[in-house]
Structure 1
Amino acid sequence: MLFRNCAGGVVFYGEKVFILKNEKREWILPKGRIRNGSLATETAIERVKFEANLTPRIVSTAGETSYEFFSMTRKKPVCNEILWYIMEVNDPLFIINESEGFMDGGFFYIEDALKLITYSQDRALVNLSYKKYKDLKTEQITA
């Protein structure tokens, strides 16, 4: 099995989270493979910029997920292990990178995003990240 280290972002703008619809019509979070000795934080920020033309700021760590699939091109199973970061943007204007196969995307209210997101572990990640994000924002206000 081929193991790949990846990083991604759970990107918030106020009460909304950013999700993308890929070429398989799956609603997912922006993420990508860590390459060339890059840090996970750098990769996560770069992928959000590349996939959605957003400029995020990392607020906190969000956790880790993994999934396996069979790669037809490599003819072997692959396991992607993803480090996630809670991020926020000051400007919600985005441009979906259609050349990468993304069909749609945007900022959705959390309850709407949770209905759209394809994978249960991504839904759990968004739900927990939003709670942590709100708590961090509340701490900033009271500090």
Structure 2
Amino acid sequence: MKEHSAGGVVIKDEKVLLLRKYYGDWVLPKGKIEKGETTSITAKREVEEESGVKAEPVRKIGYARYYYYNQNNQKVSKRVDYYLMSYKAGDLKPQNEEGFALAEFIDFDQALINLKHDSEKNMVKNAIKQYKKIREKDDIFK
């Protein structure tokens, strides 16, 4: 079984948007692609649904692939495409129905410490590199 999702690394004021699950793990916002959506549209929608923040995709920064077992004990191959995103508006409001207790912008170094999964840490590292390159030439993050 295959699953395709998309998510974002939202940067605002040299900080990254992270979500904390009720059980304590810190993660990036992401979710399943709905019919008719592109990965960038999904990333934008999921960031807003899960965190309350409006953000715009700037560029694709990579993808993560992993396996897990669903409720029916079926092995699922999951791919998550990630985008570097710039904060536009909104107040932090974690989506409780999805199991999120907290949405917060966290300093780059602390975000890398907080994130549980190496694949997400790598996406944040990629995003920070791209952010620093883009910031020198463009004011998209202002």
Q: Shared topology, TM-score over 0.5? A: yes
Per the TM alignment, residue 105 of structure 1 is displaced from its structure 2 partner at its CA by 2.4
TM-score by length of 2: 0.92
Runs ≥4 residues deviating over 3 A: none
Alignment partner for residue 72 of structure 2, among 52, 71, 74?
Answer: 74
Aligned length: 139
Whole-angstrom distance in 2 between the partners of 1:30 and 1:13: 15
Please give the secondary structure, in 1, of the residue aligned with 2:58.
Answer: strand
Please give the secondary structure, in 2, of the residue aligned with 1:63.
Answer: strand
Q: Which amino acid aligns with 1:67?
A: Y
Q: Which amino acid aligns with 2:120?
A: D
Whole-angstrom distance in 1 between the partners of 2:107 and 2:90: 13
Structural RMSD (CA): 1.4
Whole-angstrom distance in 2 between the partners of 1:126 and 1:135: 14
Please give the secondary structure, in 2, of the residue aligned with 1:90.
Answer: strand
Whole-angstrom distance in 1 between the partners of 2:7 and 2:84: 9
- Is the contact between residue 54 and residue 90 of structure 2 (CA under 8 Å) also seen in structure 1? no
Tell me what 1:132 maps to.
130
Whole-angstrom distance in 2 between the partners of 1:5 and 1:107: 26
- Is the contact between residue 70 and residue 76 of structure 1 (CA under 8 Å) also seen in structure 2? yes
Tell me what 1:7 maps to.
6
Task: Work out the percentage of aligned pairs sharing the same amino acid.
Answer: 26
Extract unaligned runs of 5+ from structure 2: none
Summarize deviations over 1:116-135 as a string: whole Å, max 9, x none. Answer: 00011111110121111111
Per the TM alignment, residue 106 of structure 1 is displaced from its structure 2 partner at its CA by 0.4
TM-score by length of 1: 0.91
Alignment partner for residue 87 of structure 2, among 78, 89, 112?
Answer: 89
Q: Which amino acid aligns with 1:60?
A: R
User: What aligned pairs does 1:30-41 form with structure 2 within 5 A after superposition?
Assistant: 30-41=29-40
Please give the secondary structure, in 2, of the residue aligned with 1:74.
Answer: coil
Extract unaligned runs of 5+ from structure 1: none
Whole-angstrom distance in 2 between the partners of 1:25 and 1:35: 28
Per the TM alignment, residue 92 of structure 1 is displaced from its structure 2 partner at its CA by 6.3
- Is the contact between residue 13 and residue 92 of structure 1 (CA under 8 Å) also seen in structure 2? no
Tell me what 1:99 maps to.
97
Please give the secondary structure, in 2, of the residue aligned with 1:36.
Answer: coil
- Is the contact between residue 52 and residue 90 of structure 2 (CA under 8 Å) also seen in structure 1? no
